[in-house]
Structure 1
């Protein structure tokens, strides 16, 4: 029960609340008016040397990546699974049927590409809010 409450609080804290003042020109929200933004999702696999880019998913600015992935899942052949970790929230387990493995030291690395710059995310899909025209990359890789 406490885990559910924490997860809901994290999600609720990230929802945009129009009219509470202030705005971030980079978020797609301006003066309390919610706007839709396109987000690209790309799945790469270091070992199979594959790359799948999905058509832009249009979501409301401020939507967590978890919501973007659920919308993409509803509208394409994309699929993912997750668990809820008591300490860290929503944890991405598998993408398109491929799961990370402690035994093989593999996992899904979460990256953001904005322009020509790629950076590793420091939060998961439950808290990360992509920006307009961002390319969210899920890279199957190893930690060795």
Structure 2
């Protein structure tokens, strides 16, 4: 039940709600911010970066859609009633249960890299952040 509530709140973040107050940072009065999206595949040593701008507070899902519309970038996703938007593949490469591979979501700010604890439907990158989708494996 709690996960369903969190999922609904994350989906609500995708909708515009003008006039509800809040901080200047999320009011839409700031111009677009620069964001870098990096796709890493350690199995074939590829590292592709995309640069874009987005309004403050736009979830990474919206930013990935922008990249899809303007660049040679593709991704697929599913929507889970319990967990929200789930990233399945990037540029034609999907995770595999049999091979124990998946797309790890990371954030790089300065020299610090952290693993995200939310998905592409909820995560809102900050100015000059590098959002990393790392194709990797689990043991």
TM-score, structure 2 as length reference: 0.86
Number of matched residues?
134
The answer for the alignment partner of 2:52 in structure 1 is 57
Q: Does structure 2 conserve the Cα–Cα contact (< 8 Å) formed by 1:20 and 1:32? A: no
Which residue is 1:12 aligned to?
A: 12
The answer to whether residue 127 in structure 2 is matched with residue 126 in structure 1 is no
CA, structure 1 residues 123+31, in 2 after alignment: closer, same or farther (shift >3 Å)?
closer
Query: Aligned runs of 1:60-79 on 2, under 5 Å?
Result: 60-79=55-74
Contact preservation (8 Å) 1:21, 1:32: no
Deviating 4+ runs (over 6 angstroms): none
Does the CA-based 8 Å contact 1:80-1:92 persist in structure 2? yes
Any residues of structure 2 matched to 1:37-56 within 5 Å, and which? Answer: 37-54=33-50, 56=51
How far off is 1:13 after superposition? 3.3
Match in the other structure for 2:23: 22
1:21: Cα distance to partner? 3.8
